[in-house]
Amino acid sequence: MSTFTLTVNIASADITALKQAGYNLCIAKKVNNTYNTVWRGGSFLARNTFQWTSRYAVFGTETFAEGALVTAATESPEIKFGQTALLDENGVMNHPTGSPNSSGTFTVDNEYAALNIGVMGYLSGAFSPIFVSPSQVVTGPVNLTPVETVLVWFDAQHTTSTIIVDSVSNTIEVDFTGGIASRSVTYASTPGRPGTGAWALDSQLRLSATYNPTTNLFAVERPSAQLLLKMASIINAQDDAAGDADVYKTTVEFNEAGMQGVVDAFKQYAQDARPQGLSEWDVSVEDDKVVVRLATEDEDSDPAEAAREIPYKFLSILHGWTGAQYKKLTFEAPRADVLLFLGERHGSAAKLVHNDSVHPHVRNPFWRLSPSSIHSSLCPGPQYCRRKWCQREVALNHRGCHPTRCGTGSRVETE
């Protein structure tokens, strides 16, 4: 039986404010495609470890209301996937029968009366409720399917074994399916606003979301630039691998396999088109991909400024390429700080991936993690572009905070 471990790290500077505001650290586990019961909710330290196995128990209860404490009204026998527990006409929850299997589902057969059916999960050496059916089951079988994903958040109202009906905010969902046994998340509050903040999952930035238990939908919450900078500094501080602090990397892939002639032609084109203002412009071919490593001449340049200027320099070169269309463009930066301008984080680096089968001047691309709120404190103001494709320039140079109009008359604004 697999053991799963979740480590929740909290920025030390935020602990006092969170506790003074009355927040509990809460986790819930998904059953029947929803999170509706707090598995564990209480006090916290800078490092908090939750460990569990895929062990479950079932019970009947008459409780289902927002914030209500779940109490079992019947026995709570342990049950395995593939088994069925009978709640008989006398209200006795019998020991499960049937051969265990790997279906991921077990069943309670209710022959008693209208009752809510609940599930317990085994966390840190004890069973506690993880789910209660929102509607009472009159009679008949109830299939229950727990999933190895958990929801983590801070809450001033819920504690262990309380029911969630209303939406909860500032959450992160952590997936342990697919053989993942251990994961870690890190939380930091928005300065001056404990309980609102951002998360990092396995050292990759994740935006907080508001979760609705009724619809099982998440609504992403927009962070402030100040909060993202704070998260970036925390993630950097946790990194063991320093990486190269100056060199950026761009990878270009083309549409058709075996296009060695196109790859070689683009390599030669990139070598000849080296832009000014760079101390390094190294072009090579790796696994049929053209890789360009580049760095600024100013070793003391601000990383944020480099994150704006280096992509622009490369994109200006890419725009002049008149050969075959590219399939995928990947830009990697060596510091997590540039998560403000890029999308994914890999190790100590940040990485943006753009899949597009056309030239950059044909279609306005979608650059992830570029909401206007991030740009607001840095934007020099609206500017006018001359081509549709300049949305790339607009986004990466913080000129997309306000809608602008390009010379062709189309409206340009960043995500």
Q: Provide block-wise average pLDDT over 10 residues at a time, the chain (415 residues).
A: 89 90 96 97 93 96 92 97 97 97 97 96 95 93 97 95 94 92 90 83 84 92 75 64 58 69 85 80 78 72 66 79 79 54 39 41 32 29 35 36 32 29
Instruction: For residues 24 and 36, give the distance between their C-alpha atoms in angstroms, rounded to a whole number.
Output: 16
Q: What pLDDT, on a 0 to 100 scale, did the predictor assign at position 308?
A: 65
Q: Are strands 209-212 and 168-175 parallel, antiparallel or unpaired?
A: antiparallel
Q: What pLDDT, on a 0 to 100 scale, did the predictor assign at position 404?
A: 34
Q: What pLDDT, on a 0 to 100 scale, did the predictor assign at position 27?
A: 98
Q: Element (H or E) spanning 307, and its range?
A: helix 303-319
pTM value is: 0.58
Sequence-distant (6+) residues with CB within 8 A of 337 are: 229, 232, 233, 236, 303, 304, 307, 350
Q: What pLDDT, on a 0 to 100 scale, did the predictor assign at position 273?
A: 86
Q: Nearest Cα to 25, choosing from 194, 226, 215, 248?
A: 194
List for the chain the helix, strand, coil content (%; round to 5): 15, 40, 45
Q: What pLDDT, on a 0 to 100 scale, did the predictor assign at position 42?
A: 95
Mapping DSSP to helix (H, G, I), strand (E, B) and coil, where does residue 113 land? coil
Instruction: For residues 355 and 378, give the distance between their C-alpha atoms in angstroms, rounded to a whole number.
Output: 27
Q: What pLDDT, on a 0 to 100 scale, did the predictor assign at position 282?
A: 80
